Chains A and B, each alone.
Chain A
């Protein structure tokens, strides 16, 4: 089945220690997204790639970076995680960038910062 895969499902890191979260997709979608979801809140869009074009949300901290080396993979890099960055990180994909396109989500990575 076509799907969105995230690894690892749980990640523990230390305060200030860089961490990378991974997302891959077999849907062959053009767009990949990264969301941050804190406890009891709705997902918040950090940025997305439309093919190789990177689109950052205005309020995404500089501490968060992303890479998309190819169509299938997208990475979220947190350069210096703080305690406030502990959250669920959700990757999603869609065929295109129009509003009608459904976003399909992966299972998420829970990040714990010690």
Chain B
């Protein structure tokens, strides 16, 4: 069975601090896909990144970076120089190759204070 664990319920940082959101997953499939979504207070789930299980390259997009490590079944998300606008709930999710059901983690609330 698939499972996604986001152990950090809530994180508070001061603006300009770096912050890492942890995501650990479980799956029996060899092919799978990992996602991060951001949900600001307005409620919309905003897609941030998709990574397939065969691509362990880390990715950087502006202040965002993702570290995928199959050896530890983790797909962590780092925000560099955090800003108040980064305050949101962040969800990590997993889908298997055959099937489009997203399994979400419980989410991490990120609060960035000025």
Size of B's binding interface in residues, CB under 8 A: 26
Q: How long is the Cα–Cα vector from A95 to B44 in the complex, in angstroms?
A: 19
A-contact 0/1 string along B17-57, CB 8 Å cutoff: 00000000000000111010100001111110010100000
Interface SS of chain A = loop
Tell whether, in the assembled complex, residue A45 and residue B102 are in contact, meaning their CB atoms are under 8 Å apart.
Answer: yes
Q: How long is the Cα–Cα vector from A88 to B40 in the complex, in angstroms?
A: 13
Asked if A107 is at the interface (CB within 8 A of a chain B CB), the reply is yes
Tell whether, in the assembled complex, residue B99 and residue A108 are in contact, meaning their CB atoms are under 8 Å apart.
Answer: no
Asked if A42 is at the interface (CB within 8 A of a chain B CB), the reply is yes
Least CB distance from A109 to B in Å reads 9
Tell whether, in the assembled complex, residue A103 and residue B102 are in contact, meaning their CB atoms are under 8 Å apart.
Answer: yes
Asked if B97 is at the interface (CB within 8 A of a chain A CB), the reply is yes
Query: Which of A42, A43, A96 neighbours the largest number of chain B CB atoms within 10 Å of its CB?
Result: A42
Asked if A102 is at the interface (CB within 8 A of a chain B CB), the reply is yes
Can you name the residue of chain A whose Cβ is closest to the Cβ of B89? Answer: A40
Asked if A68 is at the interface (CB within 8 A of a chain B CB), the reply is no
Tell whether, in the assembled complex, residue A42 and residue B100 are in contact, meaning their CB atoms are under 8 Å apart.
Answer: no
Tell whether, in the assembled complex, residue A42 and residue B104 are in contact, meaning their CB atoms are under 8 Å apart.
Answer: yes
Can you name the residue of chain B whose Cβ is closest to the Cβ of A101? Answer: B100
B-contact 0/1 string along A35-57, CB 8 Å cutoff: 00000111101001000000000
Known A98-B98, A99-B97, A99-B99; judge A106-B44 contact (CB<8 A).
yes
Tell whether, in the assembled complex, residue A98 and residue B100 are in contact, meaning their CB atoms are under 8 Å apart.
Answer: yes
Query: Which of B42, B91, B95, B100 neighbours the largest number of chain A CB atoms within 10 Å of its CB?
Result: B100
Which residues in A have their C-beta under 8 angstroms from that of B50? 100, 102
Which residues in B have their C-beta under 8 angstroms from that of A45? 101-102
Which residues in B have their C-beta under 8 angstroms from that of A108? 43-45
B-contact 0/1 string along A78-114, CB 8 Å cutoff: 0000000000101010101111111111111010000
| A-B contact list, 8 entries, CB within 8 Å | A42-B105, A43-B104, A45-B101, A92-B45, A96-B100, A98-B98, A99-B98, A100-B52
